[in-house]
Amino acid sequence: MKIVVADANLAPMRGRLEEGFPPGSEVVWPDPRDLSTVEGAVADADVLVSARCPATVGAAGKALRLVHAPGAGVDGIDVAALPAGTFVANTFHHEDSIAEYVLASTILLRRGFLAQDTALRRDEWASPAYDPALPWGDTLGAATIGFVGFGHIGARTWERFRACGARGVAVTRRGDVDAAAYGLEWSGTTDDLGSLLDRADVVVVSAPLTPETVGMIGVAELARMRRTAVLVNVGRGPLVEERALFEALRDRGIAGAAIDVWYGYPAAGTTAPPSELPFRELPNVLMTPHSSGLTRQTFAGRATDIAANVRRLAAGEQLVNVVAVAR
């Protein structure tokens, strides 16, 4: 069996991954930035492990039986270009890491720690203990957390917030979340998004990006949020309309935002503006480079899952986490 691994994030787990593959497998690691090299490598491959499989790569892989994303997102895989019968699978394990990020960034924003850090670097003690004009912060126990999307990430993040005494509400596309089972105050469909925004102190965005969800939070939705509320986006950048978010933060329509997913990414290398708008100039924004789920534990778990699925393929067993089959 020939396996092509074209994902830089898995390189630190190379030993773990290769040890888990079927004995005797040929494993090739082309540079994922060089699509022509990837195309050549998959020409006679059985398996491609990559988050990116554009039409040219899919067409080149005439013997492919499995394309395995090294994460949850499969939007970079052109299923229609793959040979008929090719399985497309994904994996997760980022829930704990992203939940930690959401919790930590929420505390930083709601307690004013970002602003205090900036001020103290100027020798200013920006605390209500020294300046009575400044507001007191609130604990998580005083907050209502609104989840826009309540899949793996939302459910795990809610466990953390719930342990802190927070209240929770959630909306999803299908509206099939059992609020009582999860300890939420209520859950609904995305038709109830306005009600969630009206009452949430923290809005956690982790819905999947589809044509229907692009810009689902725009000018009208941000205007419904409390001026003291913060937004944390760990889903995809375009779920929240770019200019509307910038202006709401600039004009203090909302108190702050943690943005881990963006509107622009490096085509190559490590340098690129995350947005055409100057979010970097706003003091009420925590900016991170799509790193909320990037921990050693995340990719160790993913390597184990991927290797196990490849072994199932070799043994003719049913695969897990299959999200599509090429027609």
- Distance, CA of 259 to CA of 244 (rounded, Å): 14
Sign for the CA dihedral angle at 269, 45, 302, 16 comes to negative
All domains of the chain in start order, with CATH: 2-93+296-325 (3.40.50.720), 95-287 (3.40.50.720)
Q: What is the pLDDT of residue 176?
A: 96
Please answer whether residues 80 and 326 qualify as being in contact, where contact means their C-beta atoms are separated by less than 8 angstroms.
yes
Q: What is the pLDDT of residue 272?
A: 97
Please answer whether residues 217 and 188 qualify as being in contact, where contact means their C-beta atoms are separated by less than 8 angstroms.
no
Q: What is the pLDDT of residue 70?
A: 97
Q: What is the pLDDT of residue 269?
A: 87
pTM of the model as a whole: 0.91
Q: What is the pLDDT of residues 184-203, one digit of tens each?
A: 999 999 999 999 999 999 99
Residues (pLDDT < 50) of the chain are none
Please answer whether residues 11 and 300 qualify as being in contact, where contact means their C-beta atoms are separated by less than 8 angstroms.
no
Under DSSP, the state recorded for 136 is P
Q: What is the pLDDT of residues 254-272, one digit of tens each?
A: 999 999 999 999 988 899 9
Query: Which residue in this structure is represented by tokens 């929770």?
Result: 168
- Distance, CA of 62 to CA of 171 (rounded, Å): 41
Q: What is the pLDDT of residue 179?
A: 98
- Distance, CA of 83 to CA of 13 (rounded, Å): 28
Return all residues near 269 (Cβ < 8 A) that are at least 6 apart: none
Q: How is residue 296 written in tokens?
A: 């050693």
